[in-house]
Amino acid sequence: MKDKNQWSVYFIFLSMYFILNILNTYWLTVQELNRYIAPFRHTFLGEINAFLGNFSILFLFMIIGYIVIKKLKARMIFLLVLTFILNFFIFWMGVFNLFFGTAFSIPASTIFLNPSDGFAMGTFLNAILELVTYARILVFLPFIILLVLYLLSDREQLKTMSFRVTIQKYLSAVLLVSVTLFTAIFSYYEQYKLTLPINSVKSTFAIQNLGVYPYYIGEFIGQPFDLDLVSFLELDTDEKLAKAYQDYNKNVDSYLSYFDKNTYSNRLSLTQAVADLTIDPTISNGDDLHGILKGRNLVLVHLESLNTFLMESEMISERMPFFQALKEQSFYFSNFYNNVGMGVSSDGELAVLTGLYPMGDRTLYWEYNKNPYTIDSLVSYFNQEGYYTEAIHGDKETFYNRDLIYPDMYGFDHFYSLEDFVKDGYVISEGYMYDTVNQKVHHSPWISDYHLADYTYQHGSSLINTYGSIMLFPITMMPHTPYEFDPNGIRYDVYPEISRRISHVTLNYINYVDYVDDVLKRFFISETGQDQTLENSVYVFYSDHGSGIKNGDLNLILGRDISVIETRQILQKVPAWIYVPGDEYVSYGDYMIRRGLMTGSQSLVRSQVDLYRTIIELFDLPVGNDPYYGVHGLSVEKTYAMDNRLMDVATDAYFYSMRNPRNIYPFHQTVDQKTYDYILRFKQLSDIIVSRDDMQQIIKEALGKTYGT
């Protein structure tokens, strides 16, 4: 009888091993359990398929262990240890969701090639805090339950109990697993191609519709899950290839906009520009806006991790007086979105500098090591115009592989990095004294953005004297998740209504606006109040991506309940503006800034790829017939913006998830299927461009042969 009881305990334990470890995968696939993931719509076929896939791998693990382990007690220990490993894996995949909003994949692992100085400890502590604040400890429930069952069993009795299985039965079990797994994989691919055949979403789609365990086993053994989009779209001839891209090419004399059905061209006129655009007579060219900034220097400022809501929330924006003054003298994009994918900051750079979407599930800057891309860029065009081009960043030169990307892919004449700052006398351990009167010093693992702003003016002035025309690309370092190293420190008195109710990380982030405003001011006004605006220059500011703040904090900041999909919209919206300083000054009390020669605002949707085209046409860069695909930032043409990691789309009418179009804001809207297909096709075509190093050149040649361009 005792043996019989222990056999019952053993089979309950075995059943719980399968049931609990399969249920545990839902922490990665169901938004009600994991608010950080952007899932697909769950379907009956997908759920059955995922169950079969997960069961097959769990069964395979069990078979492998049972071949060498005979005693029941040892087998229970084996399954207990295996369950802990699987639970730990689920936990860390959930942490990846926390920071990136999508499921992990092997191509995404290149993000970890970046030096982690300054990020690692804060990120690790946030991950551990998740165990408590977001009940992540529950992912270890299968291990805990199995451990309890094991401890309640008669382990001495189990030690003596065993059963043998013939080799034929093992082979039959392996065959059954193989057939089941093959069926699941085949079904997954068929569903994938019919749902959203984009490589950036395959990891999330696979863990939902193939199963967490089979997908990651396949990833780790090198199973390629990528689709060959050229074959999938049947672009097997030059004519088909050229036709596909010409349908989206905006560098033509005349094209019909898909969204508003009006005709536009690659030369914007005032009649097709936004109504409140004001152009100073000193740069006016009559009705033609093309080339009105030609010959001026460009300072393209990359701002780290800023969301537009910081500038629009009354509670926060009042702490940014200089930005508000600068905005009055600029052309401002109030409905501007990022286009980033897994490469985040580097993807923001890619979109602005090349007008191309990143793939979304990998970092092109690191992919360059195996695919040395030849890609058109703003840098190469400015080089052709005789400009001296330089990128300036306060982090290590190897971060995002920039020491290779900037000179080799973009063609910058020089890249000035943290190592160069140190070589020229900056002492990291001593920080940067940004206020000599009050002896305030900014300490961080990187170069202070105060110094970056000062250096941009000092170095830029020298370069203008030497080279005449320059393009500078200064890249700020802060605020950067987890938003540490603010020289002002964390303060609970700034936002007393919410400071004790939001997370420490979020409070850090919104406290950072004082620093951000000071840094923006420093680009134009020195510590002593002297003007340090570069002569004959245009300043273009854009933020690479938003903050990704979590756990309902945005509801408290904005003072209302916000849905998950609206939260994503708000966090993907980032600031961008163009400032063209003239010679006259405007007083703002304690300081004066130069009056802007081009002012106004754009309320229609724009994104980073549109900034690429805007700069090309305003500066009349020598693009020839090279295709580009964005819309002009100053025009009334309607368009859309895409987040290439989550596959969220913003239009002027609504914001929706391509993963699940039912996730839409406002809720009463419905996604038009033709619009969905139009946007999906361009995303697929965009991925093809960056699928291999010479693809853009192949496309340009196909366009030349077919259309004579």
pLDDT in tens, 69-103: 888 888 889 999 999 999 999 988 888 887 778 88
Query: How far is Cα 78 from Cα 193, in angstroms, rounded to an integer?
Result: 38
The total of other beta-carbon atoms located within 10 Å of residue 591's CB is 16
> Is 596 in contact with 329 (CB distance < 8 Å)?
yes
More confident residue, 660 or 130: 660
- Lowest-confidence range among 49-53, 184-188, 390-394, 593-597? 184-188
> Residue 304 pLDDT > 90, yes or no?
yes
pLDDT value of residue 498: 93
pLDDT at 168: 75
Mean pLDDT over residues 594-604, rounded? 98
**What pLDDT was estimated at residue 74?**
85
**Neighbour tally for 179: CB within 10 Å:** 11
CA distance to 268, 409, 675, per residue, from 261 (Å) = 16, 36, 13
Tokens of 674: 């033709």
Closest C-alpha among 260, 389, 351, 391 to residue 614: 351
Domains, the chain, with CATH or none: 2-227 (no CATH), 239-707 (3.40.720.10)
Summarize the confidence of residues 90-118 as an average pLDDT: 81
pLDDT at 165: 64
Residue-wise pLDDT tens digits, 343-372: 999 999 999 999 999 999 999 999 999 999
Confidence check: pLDDT of 548 > 60: yes
Q: Average pLDDT, stretch 244-271?
A: 97
Average confidence (pLDDT) over 135-141: 81
In this structure, the dihedral spanned by the alpha carbons of residues 620, 623, 624 and 630, taken in order and rounded to 10 degrees, is: -90
Strands (E), 237-367: 255-256, 263-264, 278-279, 297-303, 330-333, 336-337
Residue 220 has pLDDT above 90, yes or no: no
* Main-chain dihedrals φ then ψ at residue 205, nearest 5 degrees: -65, -40
Q: Is the pLDDT of residue 142 over 70?
A: yes
- Using DSSP's 3-state secondary structure scheme, residue 435 falls into strand
Mean pLDDT on 618-632:
97
Rg for the chain, CA atoms, rounded: 28
How confident is residue 120, by pLDDT bands cut at 50, 70 and 90?
Answer: low
Alpha carbon distances (Å) from 537 to 107, 265, 472, 580, 612: 40, 27, 10, 7, 17
Q: Are 309 and 573 in contact (CB under 8 A)?
A: yes
Cα–Cα distance for residue pair 557/310, rounded to 1 Å: 10
Tell me what the mean pLDDT of segment 247-254 comes to.
97
**Whole-model pTM?**
0.93
User: Do 336 and 606 form a contact (C-beta atoms < 8 A)?
Assistant: yes
User: Residue for token digits 């992919």?
Assistant: 367
Read off φ and ψ for residue 150, nearest 5 degrees. Answer: -65, -45
pLDDT of residue 1: 39
Residue 637 clears pLDDT 80, i.e. is over it:
yes
Q: What's residue 115's pLDDT? A: 75
Note whether 268 and 290 are within 8 A (CB). Answer: yes
Q: Of 624, 636, 621, 626, whose CA–CA distance to 293 is shortest?
A: 621
Strands 581-587 and 592-596: antiparallel
> Does pLDDT of 131 surpass 60?
no
The angle formed by the CA atoms of residues 107, 484 and 392, to the nearest 5 degrees, is 65
Average pLDDT over residues 623-645: 97
Tokens of 631: 């819309």
pLDDT > 70? residue 135: no
Partners of residue 393 on adjacent β-strands: 475
Phi, psi of 441 (to 5 degrees): -125, 140
User: Which pLDDT score is estimated for 233?
Assistant: 95
pLDDT over 90, % of the chain: 78
pLDDT over 70 percentage in the chain: 95
pLDDT at 301 over 90: yes
Q: Is the pLDDT of residue 560 over 80?
A: yes
Chain mean pLDDT for the chain:
92
